[in-house]
Structures are given as structure tokens and as C-alpha cells.
Structure 1
Amino acid sequence: MDWISPRALNRLGMLNMNRRNVDYIARYNERSAFPLVDNKLKTKLVVAEYGVKTPKLLQVVRQQHEISHFKEMAEDLAGFAIKPAKGSGGKGITVITGRDGDDYIKASGARVDSPFLQRHLTNILAGLYSLAGTPDVAIVESLVESVPSLAKYSHQGVPDIRIIVFQGYPVMAMLRLATTASDGKANLHQGAVGVGLDIGTGRSLNAVQFNRPIKLHPDTGLALENIQIEAWDEMLEMAARCYEATELGYIGVDLVVDATQGPLLLELNARPGLAIQMANGRGLLPRLRTIEAIRRPHFSPQDRSRFAMETFASL
């Protein structure tokens, strides 16, 4: 569909932050479950019990003395990602995509040495990137290599897919593409591109950067129409399963499509942002109300994702 102005989106059911916080997050998300999704390590361990795949865990660094083991573990690795377990918004994540002698090559192309990475691990343990500034744990994961069909659209970063799941039903989705402005991170507030996705097919709809409509990626120059997400049915079902895993009624599920492993869960968010509406050119409220009106909810993740595909497909 054509681009719709923010004023028109309001009339079409734009969910604002106050309503999101009061009517959906506070009402449907038990605060006791927040620590689960606010901690990437806990998330990985829990969702695995529900058949949701995540990047392979290579090492967990909990104490300062364990950092020396990191150097030994990473000696023969060409790529990996270091993440603070309780970080948010991509803060503190360092992605290594290659090696050149003793140097590690970051996704941006910058070179860093082993002492740099060890200092970074120290900062993570000190809580420099954690949500509340409290001591944290560092996790080292295998490198995600995006499928070429999506990787070509992103600039110095792995493209990911954000899916809003309400009461176990996927209700809205977007593809997030890294840019120079976002420093290789899929963060819309920092300048990543958001591409709305048709829930019914996984095909692209509209695209925005800084909440303004765009047709081409600002760095790659590629047109953002006619993008097709691979394994779309599987991704929606994975997102739906995260409802059982967390018991959170309103969550953001962040997935990637790995070239060899297929769809993988990156993380969950109990307070997902609202820019997804701009990327889709339509508001969340009508879809949320549709789910609230269901008298006999679907029991299985497969049935819920199938219902969503049929009900929220773009016409």
C-alpha cells in the first residue's frame, strides 16, 4: 500500500506509548517475568525447552578471572559475538567477523586486539551496558551469517526481523536493516531502516528511516520493495512459541535467518517500541483488538500463527 501519514495512522488505530504501557504491557505482562526476557542468557536457556533455536553459546563469562579463558577459547575462531546478558538497544554488543593475524576484525571493518576485547568483557561484568548499571554477565555466541537474499540489503550488520506477539499471536512484523547512521546495528532510533512485512506472506510493504518514508537503502542503494523473507511460516511459529516460554502477553521477538541454521531467536523484548507501525503504514490497535475479541483462543503456536497469517494479511 502507499505511504500513510502519521495523522492518517492515528485514525487507523495507531497505538501510542501511554496506551501501550497501560493497556498492554501493564495488563498482559507479569512483572515477575521481566527478568527472564531482560537477560539474554536466561532467555536462551528457557526458549530452548520450547524448540526455539538461538545462536550457539560458546562461553559465559561471569567472573573477572574467567576472562583469561576467553582468549584461549577464541584463539581458533574466525567470528563470534560478545553480548552483555542484560544489555538493551544493542549496547555493548561487539561482533567479530574475521581474523588477520593477531587482530580481530569487527563488522565495521575496524581492527581490535585481544586486550581490547578483554577490556570490553571487563566493562560488561562491571555493568557498563546493563539496564540498571548493575554487575552483569558476558555471553559469547557463534557468529550469525545472514542468508544472502537479506544480507545484501543491510550495511555492516546482520538484518533481523522484529515480530510483535500478542497473547501468542503474531500481529505485526518488520525487517530491520543496519546503516552507516546506525553504526551497523539494527536499531531504528539510531538510524536503521525499518521495512514493514506482510504477516500473511513475509513480503515487504513500506520502508522508513528516522520515521520518514524511503524507497532505497541509504547505503546499499537497493530498492526495498519486493523483499521476501525466507522460512516465513517457521519464523511466525517460533515467535508464537515464545508466548508459552515466557507467559508474557505482549512481547517483541527478534529473529534472524541464518544461512546454515535457518531462523534463530536473538532476543525478546517485554517493552517493544512502536516504530513498527510506521514501517507497516498501519496501526497496531485494530489487530490487538481482534485478538482480544477471540472467544476461543487457539491452543497451539501453529494454529495461532496460521490464524494471524489469514487474518492480518495485507490486501
Structure 2
Amino acid sequence: MAFWNRYTSPFKLASLGIMGMNQRNINYIGRYNPRSLYPLVDNKLKTKRIAIDAGVTVPKLIGTISFQHEVGRITKMVQDWPGFCIKPARGSGGKGILVILSHENGLYYKPNGQACNQADLERHVSNILAGLFSLGGKPDLVMVEDLINFDDVFDGYSFEGVPDTRVIVFKGFPVMAMMRLSTSSSDGKANLHQGAVGVGICLRTGRALRAVQYNEPLRYHPDTQKDLFELQVPHWHKLLTLASSCYEMSGLGYLGTDMVLDKKRGPMLLELNARPGLSIQIANAAGLLPRLRAVTKLGKVSMSVEERIQFAMDKFGIFTGPQL
């Protein structure tokens, strides 16, 4: 049975502590996220720069393209990189991201084995610059990054894509977490609306709590049949430390941190989101409001990153085992 659906009454949602979009926008995003700081997170290149300045590990930047007359540079830019990722700096929801695993003889191969040529790459770059994938359709710039070699511990948990971890951080406290696992339906993207699997993660242990696809519970990955209830995120404390530290780094009081685990470099920050979605509540079978209110109740306290993490693990991370 689903945690809730479109027929669930507002009174039932309130009793579950479910936060709706209006509450999120007015009471948390509007109140705790100064508009002047939005460019730091809406532009992935700016996010990368402030992360590097703060000593946070991020995927290596191969190069950028800012103008249409530079489109032809793309093949030369990536010629010495076995694999790479092309993405819009101001994109959202995984739109406009093109992953190339390998290339030879003028052909570039996607994770699903489909090949594209130089003209295809240039067309994609041109579309990004034109704002086809950007917030509000505004002209954008192109980022080209090195591929992430995700940790072998996640083999079978994601299909043709890199699994990532979303942590909601409020006033520096991690309050809820999930992993997003790509599927054939999501075309290798870790986007729940496109069909990726969301797995709620216990803040205390880093273990799976629940898994959903299209808001419906499931236990096994739809493509690999991997048991999702066996998922355990390694380096969990380090990952929470990275997420919590993004509060000081960005200045945003309510944000989503998206991270990956690289085989060699460990936890890395992919991007920050000043307007994180609410589906994480479905993946966790829990509402955000009680946790947000618990942090608010603390008042103006001065706590270190480590103290905030410990509070969150003790208060929000009581593991009761996976559930459908």
C-alpha cells in the first residue's frame, strides 16, 4: 500500500507530518533562503567554484562552452578523455545531461550502447546554450566534466547511470535522506519523476528503509532485480558531514544536497538545490515537518557540524528495518 496517494485527505497528511509545496515555499524556502544566494546554487558552475573554495570534493571540470561560435570546440575538448559528461549549468531535474562512456573512430557511446557522432554532440551543446534545458528557458552555458566512477558497492542497484544521495539540510542539520537509483524507464537519470527508484535512508545507519518507484513501494530493482532492502551506504558519516557543511558553504537555510560516491575520491558533491522536491517523504514513509520543527525548537544555538550530525542521527535516525 502506498504511503499516501492523491485520495489521501488533508487531515491524514497533516497527522503524518507531511509537508506540502505551499508550506515548503513560504515557511522554509521563502524564510530561510535569501534570493540573493540563489545564483550560487542555480548555476552549477558557481556551485562548483564555491565548493572548491570550501575544500569540498567535486567532479573534475574538463571545460566550459559559453557561446554558439564555440560549439565546434567540443570534440577537441574531450578527445583525451575516455568518458565525459556534458551538462547545462542551469539545468534542473537531470534534463540536458549527456553521458558518454567511451568514444572511438568519431563515434561516442552512451551508457545504453547507443552511438552518436560529432554533429550530435554539437547539436546537444547548441541546444544547451540556447536554453532548451535551463530554468526559465534562459540562455545557458555548457559544462563538461569527467565521469564519476561510482563505488562497486552499488553494483546492481542502478541501471545505466550513477546513483546519487539526496540529503535535505535545514539550518545545517541533516533531516532526511534518500538514494536515487536510475532505471531503464528513467533513461539512466537519477530522477524520480522520470522513473528512477527512490530509497529512503536511515540517518543513523545509512541503511535502506523503504523503496519506491512512481510513488509505489517495491523491494527489487525493476531492471537488475537487486534486493533494495540490502542497500547500505558506505562512508555514511563522511557523507553527512559533507551535506551538513554545505549550510555554511552556501548560506542557505533549507537546501537539498546531491552527492555521489566515487570509487577513488570518495563522497563528492554534485550540486545543491534551493528548492528540493518533496518526494523524499514518500521514499522514507515519513513527513518532514516533525523533523523541521524539532530543529526550529532548538532556537539560536551554536553547534559544530559534528554536533549537528549527532543530533540528527539520534533524533531522526532510529532504524526500524525496511518496510513496504
Q: Normalising TM by the smaller chain, what interval?
A: over 0.9
Structure 2 SS opposite 1:76: coil
Say if 1:3 and 1:206, in contact at 8 Å, map to a contact too. Answer: no
Counterpart of 1:120 (choices 117, 124, 130) is: 124
SS at match of 1:195: strand
Which residue of 171, 175, 179 maps to 2:175?
Answer: 171
Match of 1:240 in 2: 244
Query: What secondary structure does 1:251 align onto?
Result: strand
Using the alignment, how far apart are the partners of 1:236 and 1:302 within structure 2? 9
Matched, 1:88 2:82: no
Residues 200 and 46 (structure 1 numbering): CA distance in 2 closer, same or farther, change over 3 Å?
Answer: same
Per the alignment, residue 106 of structure 1 pairs with 110
Letter in 1 for 2:18: M
Runs of 4 or more above 3 Å deviation: 2-10
Q: How does 1:182-193 map to 2 (within 5 A)?
A: 182-193=186-197
- Aligned with residue 155 of structure 1, among 156, 159, 164: 159
Specify which of 40, 51, 58 is matched with residue 54 of structure 1: 58
> Is residue 202 of structure 2 the alignment partner of residue 181 of structure 1?
no
What residue identity is the alignment partner of 2:66?
A: R
Confirm or deny: 8 A CA contact 1:80 1:140 kept in the other structure: yes
Distance in 2, matches of 1:10 and 1:208, equals 21
Tell me which residue corresponds to 1:97: 101
Equivalent position of 2:322 in the other structure:
none
* Structure 1 SS opposite 2:143: strand
Q: Give the residue type in structure 2 aligned to 1:82.
A: I
The 3-state SS of whatever aligns with 1:58 is strand
Query: CA shift at 1:50, angstroms?
Result: 1.8
Structure 2 distance, partners of 1:91, 1:75, is 24
Q: Which residue of 2 aligns with 1:14?
A: 18
C-alpha deviation, 1:114, in angstroms: 1.6
Q: What is the CA-CA distance between 1:5 and the residue it aligns to?
A: 4.5
The letter of the residue matching 1:285 is L
Answer with 11-20 or 156-165: which moved more.
Answer: 11-20
- Give the structure-1-normalised TM-score: 0.96
Answer yes or no: is 1:289 the counterpart of 2:287. Answer: no
Provide the residue aligned with 1:44 in structure 2.
Answer: 48
What is residue 146 of structure 2 aligned with on the other side?
A: 142
TM-score w.r.t. length of structure 2 = 0.93
- The correspondence for 1:231, drawn from 222, 235, 238, is 235
CA distance in 2, matches of 1:276, 1:188: 9
Q: Give the aligned partner of residue 267 of structure 1.
A: 271
The DSSP-based 3-state class of the residue aligned with 1:200 is coil
Deviates more, 1:153-162 or 1:94-103: 94-103
Say if 1:138 and 1:311 are closer, same or farther in 2 by CA, change over 3 A: same
| Cα distance in 2, alignment partners of residues 100 and 41 from structure 1 | 28
AA in 2 matched with 1:170: P
What SS class does the counterpart of residue 176 from structure 1 fall into? strand
Give the C-alpha shift of residue 76 in structure 1. Answer: 2.1
One-letter code aligned to 2:138: T
Q: Is the Cα–Cα contact under 8 Å of residues 158 and 183 in structure 2 kept in the other structure?
A: yes
Deviates more, 1:2-11 or 1:292-301: 2-11
**Most deviating of 57-66 and 34-43:** 57-66
Tell me the CA shift for residue 298 of structure 1: 4.0
Tell me if the contact between 1:52 and 1:241 (Cα under 8 Å) persists in the aligned partners: no
For residue 83 of structure 2, the aligned residue among 69, 79, 82 is 79
Query: Does the 8 A contact of 1:85 with 1:139 survive in 2?
Result: yes
Conservation of the 8 A alpha-carbon contact between 1:157 and 1:186 = yes
Distance in 2 (alpha carbons) for counterparts of 1:220 and 1:304: 37
1-structure distance, mates of 2:202, 2:254: 19
- Alpha-carbon distance between aligned partners in 2 of 1:284 and 1:94, rounded to the nearest angstrom: 33
**CA positional deviation for 1:148:** 1.3
Residue of structure 2 in register with 1:31 after alignment: 35
* Residues 151 and 159, structure 1, Cα contact 8 Å, conserved in 2: no
Superposed CA deviations along residues 28-64 of structure 1, whole A, max 9, x for unmatched, are 1111111111100000001222221110001011122
Structure 2: gaps of 5 or more residues = 320-324
Aligned twin of 1:301 = 305
In the TM superposition, what is the alpha-carbon distance from 1:245 to its structure 2 partner? 1.4
Specify the code of the residue in structure 2 equivalent to 1:144. Answer: I
CA distance in 2, matches of 1:135, 1:295: 41
* AA partner of residue 278 (structure 2): L
Conserved in 2, the CA contact under 8 Å of 1:169 and 1:291?
yes
2:262 corresponds in structure 1 to: 258
| Cα RMSD for the two superposed structures | 1.6
In 2, the alpha carbon distance for the partners of 1:9 and 1:153 equals 30
